[in-house]
Amino acid sequence: MKSLFSLKRFTGKNSADMEDEGGEEYVEIDTEAEREKTSKIIVRPFVMEDFSDIKEILDSLREGYTIALINIKPLKDKDLVELKRAINKLKKTCDAIEGDIAGFGDDYVVVTPSFAEIYRTKSTNNISED
């Protein structure tokens, strides 16, 4: 047990050094702050005006706590080749994080992490690689 949990790892001193100093030393860890940060799910809107906008979207998705609502209309109006490239990149990242991706209408794409699933109706389009 002593090798599994060592005071030296936290304080830089072993237990014999601490006994020589005549006192015990404690490390206080604030567990509530971390729990609040990771337990919130964020539904976040994005607007994709250029292919470079995908980096921020992918970073948010990889964190695992973001459901992305992406307006693709500006990029669709500007450059269809770049839009297809961006959608393929979203699809690959979605597969990597075991998430779900779907299109709503002609102008929106929704990407969810692994804990969420998109309800599919006739107006929901499956996104597939062509």
The count of structural domains within the chain is: 1
Q: What contacts 81, CB < 8 A, 6 or more positions away?
A: none
Residue 130: name the closest of 56, 70, 80 by CA: 80
In a domain, 88, yes or no: yes
In a domain, 4, yes or no: no
Residue 100, helix vs strand vs coil: strand
> 0.75 cut: is pTM over it?
no
Mean pLDDT of 76-104: 93
What's the confidence (pLDDT) of residue 75?
93
In a domain, 96, yes or no: yes
What's the confidence (pLDDT) of residue 30?
67
Torsion angle in degrees (nearest 10) through CA of 122, 75, 69, 47? -150
CATH number at residue 105: 3.30.110.150
Q: Which domain holds residue 52?
A: 41-126
Mean pLDDT of 111-126: 81
Residue 111: name the closest of 75, 59, 73, 76 by CA: 59
Q: How do residues 8-55 score in pLDDT, each as one tens digit? A: 444 555 555 555 555 567 777 766 655 555 568 999 999 999 999 999
Q: How do residues 61-81 score in pLDDT, each as one tens digit? A: 998 899 999 999 999 999 999
In a domain, 22, yes or no: no
